[in-house]
A and B are shown apart, each in its own frame.
Chain A
């Protein structure tokens, strides 16, 4: 075997490995370790800016919502209230509302009546405490209103950022899209940690304290119905809705996915969703699919109903219908 100066490990070096550590090697090693450690500390320095209380041991040890004992859940709710008061100066009431027995929610939207005013998208933002960079910023709203050309239902030709002087425009019609609360929900199926699931009343919810933020559910959703908190939610205290619930509109941490819950903090309390209440044309119909006398059941029985992306096989609980 000939000596090759390019060898990374020469026989001489190998020889050293078998010998006890010399003083020189020890000092060299220590110096290298110190340099490495200094580099590591310097690299991790930004972590000092983490806010206090952003990552607590309690958070790390918290169990999945469905495995929490009632008293554990109550303690967490009080803690979340205190956190909101501390960080935003608003004292909320955070409740845990369970699905009502004998209720399966359904939503129908009248495409003949909708005028594309986007009031629903704004009301959603007010109700659900989404992050926004300005009062008009509806990017995080759970409702996306599409402007479509009359004559077809072609989403590819739709415009989300339409901005004419007045709506509706003559040759256009409008289609608000939000979570369809699918019976065969692709989003809950793909979640690796079951942080999102379907409740007994059909509403698909997210445990924001359990979500790991992988965004697989967003990739799976055919309706673009999920939003991700790429940063800590930006909210003005004056605009915070203090009527909150654990599974819906409480203020989210950064790094988790959120979505429309049919305003379950209202609807499980006998009220209508915020988007329905604000609609100026009465295009929105909400109710119990299991009640044969409800308005929603009447519409599904008697109107020409359209299901968005029916070919994907998601079996939505959200329907579109037409008057004429």
Chain B
């Protein structure tokens, strides 16, 4: 017990030790997070009127970001599978970064849902025995279970492995391997259940579509690994932890396959909507070409499509075998999918409204600040976790510093 308290104390200590660059980065993120919090406090006082949402478009940027991020969290599984199922040693060296990212991103997801609530202080209404949990009827209550479950799984796995590394003992398999395998299935479930949130609504024909969950997973397995590759570059450049090229190129392969599937499914969707356009294609028409002179999303979606195509072209050609080319592909894919899955999926579900009206949506300045604040807070959380985890991983922060470390990486 006292050893664990010492561990926690050292974690606290190291959180506040670092180079000036580290301080500058963390201060910047803290300030932006606080600006977001300030915007949110204004929203709490004035109500959701501070957002661009209306009775017709009743979900907006918050839910769009939430949807995108659930995919990123699920994509941690793309590091876990090669490491634990295909037993690739080089993936074991980085799998923790994926799990930590999942933790940070799930917390962002929960924040995005919370800021979307009209009465966040009534959150306990979901938690028995204080509240009533509409289970299994409401897919939202399923989502609460799977997201929090995924958070706990990753907290346990990452926390346990880090603590073992800190004590320089071998982790006991039965304490974490079963959870690793559960987390693989669980990762798929978080994104599938989130897709079912939308697919389950028969009144919204744009969402009521069996392809949506598959596309969710495919695009998540592009955007998640793409973000991981970018993070690995940052770690390689700034931090004392060697990441070889192998994990990066394994992720590149995963991304490429997922992107091909994603674009194929997109093609299927476009064919179905436009070859024999029914009244149900109105939302897709609004998204891609505008409807009755309203074309608020047209520029967005075509930007996304172009970025997706550029990303795909870079991935399937040798250009992305070079790191610069790969980084470019990753940025294109992340931005493209963020638009496509956020604004491109959520907003057209509401336009036109079920009664045929077209009310367009644009996030307000305050709403944007809240979003930026949550992104900054997520980055802050992840930076902090890496800052603490990496010295433990490379053996420089350990329980008994007087004994020479044996787990030092060979680099």
**Chain B residues with CB below 8 A from A228, complex form:** 48, 55, 58, 118
Q: At the interface, yes or no: A16 with Cβ under 8 Å from chain B? A: yes
A272 proximal to B (CB < 8 A) = no
Q: Which of A36-44, A78-86, A93-101, A291-299 contacts B (4 or more CB under 8 A)?
A: A36-44
Contact of B41 among A45, A146, A177, A210 (CB under 8 A): A45
The reply to whether B118 and A192 form a contact with Cβ atoms under 8 Å apart is no
Q: Is A39 a contact partner of B31 (Cβ separation < 8 A)? A: yes
B353 at the A interface (CB under 8 A): yes
B138 to chain A minimum Cβ distance, whole angstroms, is 5
Do the beta carbons of B356 and A156 come within 8 Å of each other? yes
Contacting pair A230 B117 (CB below 8 A)? no
Considering the complex, which residues of chain B in the window 1-51 have a beta carbon less than 8 Å from any beta carbon of chain A? Answer: 10, 13-14, 16-19, 21-22, 30-31, 34-35, 37-38, 41-42, 44-49, 51
When the two chains form their complex, are residues A312 and B116 in contact, meaning their CB atoms are under 8 A apart?
Answer: no
Give the segment of B181-189, B201-209, B215-223, B296-304 that binds chain A. B201-209
The answer to whether A160 has its CB under 8 Å from any CB of chain B is yes
A54 to chain B, nearest CB (A): 9
Bound together, the chains give a CA A10 to CA B31 distance in angstroms of 25
Q: Is A191 an interface residue (CB 8 A)?
A: yes
User: B119 touching A255 by the CB < 8 A rule?
Assistant: yes
Q: Does B318 sit within 8 A of A, measured CB to CB?
A: no
- Cβ of B403 under 8 Å from chain A: no
Of B72-80, B129-137, B167-175, B333-341, the one contacting chain A is B129-137
Among the stretches B89-97, B120-128, B263-271, the one at the interface with A is B120-128
A49 within 8 A of B: yes
- Judging by beta carbons under 8 Å apart, are B140 and A256 in contact? no
Tell me which residues across on chain A come within 8 A of B204, comparing CB atoms: 219, 222
Query: Does the CB pair A254–B132 fall under 8 Å?
Result: no
By a CB distance below 8 angstroms, the chain A residues around B350 are 219
Would you call B117 and A64 a contact (CB within 8 A)? Answer: no
Chain A residues with CB under 8 Å of B21's CB are 6, 8
Q: Is the CB of A230 within 8 A of B10?
A: no
In the complex with contacts A14-B14, A43-B34, A186-B396 CB distance below 8 A: no
Most buried by B among A139, A140, A214, A229: A214
In this complex, the member of A36, A60, A190 whose beta carbon has the largest number of chain B beta carbons within 10 angstroms is A190
A238 within 8 A of B: no
Chain B residues with a Cβ closer than 8 Å to the other chain, count: 79
**What 0/1 readout, one digit per residue, does chain A (202-213) give for beta carbons within 8 Å of chain B?**
000000001111
Q: B401–A212 contact, CB under 8 A? A: no
Instruction: Return B356 CB to nearest CB of chain A, in Å.
Output: 4
A124 vs chain B, min Cβ distance (A): 14
A49 / chain B contacts, CB cutoff of 8 Å: 45
Residue of A nearest to B408 (CB): A1
A14 to nearest B CB, angstroms? 5
- Which of the segments B102-110, B232-240, B251-259, B309-317 contacts the partner chain? B232-240
Nearest chain A CB to B354 CB, angstrom units: 5
| Selected contact of B141 from candidates A7, A154, A192, A221, CB within 8 Å | A192
Provide the residues of chain A in CB contact with B37, threshold 8 Å.
40, 43-44
When the two chains form their complex, are residues A313 and B282 in contact, meaning their CB atoms are under 8 A apart?
A: no
The reply to whether A193 and B125 form a contact with Cβ atoms under 8 Å apart is yes
Q: Is B355 an interface residue (CB 8 A)?
A: yes
- Tell me which residues across on chain B come within 8 A of A43, comparing CB atoms: 34-35, 37-38, 41
> A224 in the interface, Cβ–Cβ < 8 Å?
yes
Provide the bound-state CA to CA distance between A313 and B200, in Å: 13
Cβ-defined contact, A214 with B140, below 8 A: yes
Decide if A213 touches B238 in the complex (CB within 8 Å). Answer: no
- Cβ contact within 8 Å between B19 and A7: yes
Known: A156-B282, A192-B140, A230-B47. A212 touches B126 (CB 8 A): yes
| Contact present for A9 and B396 (CB under 8 Å) | yes
Cβ–Cβ < 8 Å partners of A212 in chain B = 117-120, 122-123, 125-126
* A13 within 8 A of partner (CB): yes
Complex Cα gap A54–B210 (Å): 43
Which residue of A36, A40, A215, A231 is within 8 Å of B46 (Cβ)? A231
Q: Which of B38, B118, B137, B282 is A42 in contact with, Cβ under 8 Å?
A: B38
| Nearest A residue (CB) for B14 | A17
Given A43-B38, A228-B58: A256 and B118 within 8 A (CB)?
yes
| Measured CA separation A312–B280 after assembly (Å) | 12
B295 in the interface (beta carbon within 8 A) = no
A314 to B354, CA, bound (A): 14
- The answer to whether B13 touches A9, judged by C-beta atoms less than 8 angstroms apart, is no
- Report whether B240 and A4 are in contact in the complex, using a CB–CB cutoff of 8 Å: yes
Contact B139 A160 (CB under 8 A): no
Bound complex: CA of A228 vs CA of B169, how far in Å?
Answer: 55
Q: How far is the CA of A220 from the CA of B41 in the complex (A)?
A: 29
Interfacial chain B residues near A21, Cβ < 8 Å: 13
Q: Which residues of A contact B238 (CB under 8 A)?
A: 6-8
Q: Once the chains bind, are A221 and B203 in contact (CB under 8 Å)? A: yes
Complex Cα distance, B125 from A194, in Å, reads 9
The verdict on B59 contacting chain A, using a C-beta distance below 8 Å, is: yes
A183 interface residue (CB < 8 Å to B):
no
Complex CA gap A13/B390 in Å reads 13
Q: How far is the CA of A123 from the CA of B260 in the complex (A)?
A: 56
- A219 CB contact (under 8 Å) in B48, B58, B137, B356: B58
- Indicate if the CB atoms of B117 and A213 lie closer than 8 Å: yes
In the complex, whether A268 has a CB less than 8 A from a CB of chain B is no
Asked if B56 lies at the interface with its beta carbon under 8 angstroms from chain A, I say yes
B118 close to A14 (CB less than 8 A): no
- A206, B376: Cα distance in complex, Å: 36
User: Across the interface, which residues of A come within 8 angstroms of B22, CB to CB?
Assistant: 8
CB distance from A192 to the nearest CB of B (A): 4
Chain B neighbourhood of A144, CB < 8 A: 355
Q: Decide: A32 and B355 in contact? CB cutoff 8 A.
A: no
Alpha-carbon distance A192/B200, docked complex (angstroms): 14
Q: A205 to nearest B CB, angstroms?
A: 15
Q: Which residues of B contact A313 (CB under 8 A)?
A: 202
9 contacts between A and B (CB under 8 A): A7-B239, A8-B240, A9-B18, A43-B38, A156-B352, A210-B122, A216-B138, A230-B51, A232-B47
User: What 4 pairs between A and B have smallest CB-CB spacing?
Assistant: A213-B118, A255-B118, A222-B203, A192-B140
Contact residues of A with B, CB < 8 Å? 1, 4-11, 13-14, 16-18, 21, 28-29, 32, 36, 39-40, 42-47, 49-50, 55, 60, 64, 139-140, 144, 146, 154-158, 160, 177, 186, 189-195, 210-216, 218-224, 226-232, 253-257, 309, 312-314
Beyond the given pairs A192-B134, A230-B49, 8 more chain A to chain B contacts, judged by CB atoms under 8 angstroms and listed by A's residue number, are: A46-B44, A50-B45, A55-B121, A144-B355, A155-B354, A194-B132, A230-B53, A313-B202
